[in-house]
Amino acid sequence: MRPFRHRRLTAVVALATMLVTAAPPAAAGADDSRNRRAGYHRVGYFTQWGIYGRAFPVKKLDTSGAASRLTHVNYAFGNVSEDGRCFVDGGPGEGDAWADYQRPVPAEESVDGVADAWGEPLNGNFGQLAKLKAKHPGLQVMISLGGWSWSTYFSNAARTDASRKAFVASCIDLYLKGNLPVLDGGSGGPGAAAGVFDGIDLDWEWPNWPGEPGNVVRPEDRQNFTKLVAEFRRQLDAYGRTTRRHHPLTAFLPANQAAMDAGYEGREIFRYLDFATVQGYDFHGAWDPVTNQQSALRVPSGAPDNPDFSAEVAIDGWLARGAPREKLVLGIPYYGRGWTGVSGSGNGLFQPATGPAPATFEAGYEDYRRLKTLAGNGFTVHRDLRAGHAWLFDGTTFWTYDDPAVVLQKTLYIRRAGLAGAMVWSLDGDDDNATLTKTIGLGLATP
């Protein structure tokens, strides 16, 4: 078996690394839209804050070739107020209206090479997303609501029939109709962002289950989530009758099966969702005392936890709860989790560690584009092909991450399992050649 495994791995790596030098494609045309609709969903989260330390403007989605490989861009995130409304704010910890639509984007960061002027109705990331869509007409942009930090008041918004109606109406008005608050200098106004966002992504982390400390959690969240997605579908369809378009509705769902049972009526919610993305990462991290995988396709042999998490376990969990496989999209990380002070022997896996590995922005968390530079630079790449995961180890520091070979293996699993596609968190973790996104494009290409 060993020679066979080696040949198979070599083929996977060869296919994945073909993409590193691939040139970005020409601008999308009419055929681009048809191809996107016919094939797998390829969803990428664009982070509002990525324009700062990571220096990742919207333009990089175009110049790297990522945009033409994606079907959806999810903008992270939109906030939910205590009284259950979608809102945009510039207050510390509440939002970043400057990044969203006020910041004048200079010519060198602009998708079309034209600089913004101060006070235009639509500047910032929103304005650049509009330009990106003009260049790639098959691309859909979703506003993702909540996330880990801004799910605090989702329960309030979903609590009653009246609160659900008001919440959904506020989100459609703000993002799809584009009625943005007017900021100092004049950015915003009625219809300023109309056409930027095509639909809504619900990232409530998590109904009736602890997320960030301080989140409002109620037992009735489980039933109210179903009622909320039903209300979103009703109002999006009503709005679509005025625009003569279908406005998609998606949700981000957990890998934890206890959270699945606590917060979701599995079969029911898929009556209203176009598709759902499933968490395929953060299975382990430096909060654990021993090194482990954070995003393996299958549970590795010898794993210290039983039962344990894996991408396949998460997908099987949703299938067992009535989710249609053709509406499940597997999440893939563009970052790794790391430990340092690793003791023991061997390749570093399942060994005691003293804490999180030093990293650029957050201890124990590092982007793929930086981790890829460690291979051969004091670190050795290790793989478990059966389990579908890879890690880096230098004798002291350990990083679990997805490289092109692992990503390609996951796309083959998506195809074989009959799933709807792949989602990535987050696009700013990829390298300047969009290597991981191109790998997904290759693995999920349609004839």
> How many other C-beta atoms lie within 10 A of the C-beta of residue 285?
18
What is the model's pLDDT at position 20?
39
Of 32-46, 241-255, 407-421, the poorest mean pLDDT is in: 32-46
Peptide bond into 295 cis (omega under 30): no
Cα distance between residue 264 and residue 169, in whole Å: 23
What is the model's pLDDT at position 38?
60
Residue whose C-alpha is closest to residue 136's, from 181, 53, 198: 198
Q: Is residue 329 part of a domain?
A: no
What is the model's pLDDT at position 403?
98
Q: Report how many domains make up the chain.
A: 1
Mean pLDDT of all residues in 412-427: 98
Maximum CA extent, the chain: 67
Q: Is residue 112 part of a domain?
A: yes
Q: Is residue 213 part of a domain?
A: yes
How does pLDDT run across 275-292, given as a tens digit for each residue? Answer: 999 999 999 999 999 999
Residue whose C-alpha is closest to residue 255's, from 206, 303, 290, 216: 206
Copy the structure tokens of residue 340: 């340092």
Percent of the chain with pLDDT over 90: 89
Residue 335 near residue 282 (C-beta atoms within 8 A)? no
Write b or e for each residue in 294-306: b if 16 or more Cβ atoms lie within 10 A of its Cβ, otherwise e.
bbbbbbbeebeee
Cα distance between residue 170 and residue 394, in whole Å: 51
What is the model's pLDDT at position 89?
87
What pLDDT band is residue 92 in, cutting at 50, 70 and 90?
confident
Residue 131 near residue 152 (C-beta atoms within 8 A)? no
Q: Is residue 67 part of a domain?
A: yes
List CB contacts of 243: < 8 A, sequence separation 6 or more. Answer: none
How does pLDDT run across 346-371, given as a tens digit for each residue? Answer: 999 999 999 999 999 999 999 999 99
Q: Is residue 9 part of a domain?
A: no
Q: Is residue 103 part of a domain?
A: yes
What is the model's pLDDT at position 35?
35
Cα distance between residue 52 and residue 50, in whole Å: 5
CATH of the domain at 193: 3.20.20.80
| pLDDT greater than 50 at residue 78 | yes
Copy the structure tokens of residue 93: 């910890």
What is the model's pLDDT at position 303?
97
Copy the structure tokens of residue 13: 């790596």
> How many other C-beta atoms lie within 10 A of the C-beta of residue 184?
11
Peptide bond into 210 cis (omega under 30): no
Mean pLDDT of all residues in 380-395: 98
What is the model's pLDDT at position 91?
81
Q: Is residue 65 part of a domain?
A: yes
pTM for the whole thing? 0.93
Name the residues annotated as catalytic: 205
**Containing H/E element for 391?**
strand 389-393
Q: Containing domain of residue 89, as a range?
A: 34-278
What pLDDT band is residue 27 in, cutting at 50, 70 and 90?
very low
How does pLDDT run across 59-75, given as a tens digit for each residue? Answer: 999 999 999 999 999 99
**Mean pLDDT (the chain, rounded):** 93
List CB contacts of 127: < 8 A, sequence separation 6 or more. Answer: 101, 105, 116, 120
Q: Is residue 250 part of a domain?
A: yes
Peptide bond into 399 cis (omega under 30): no
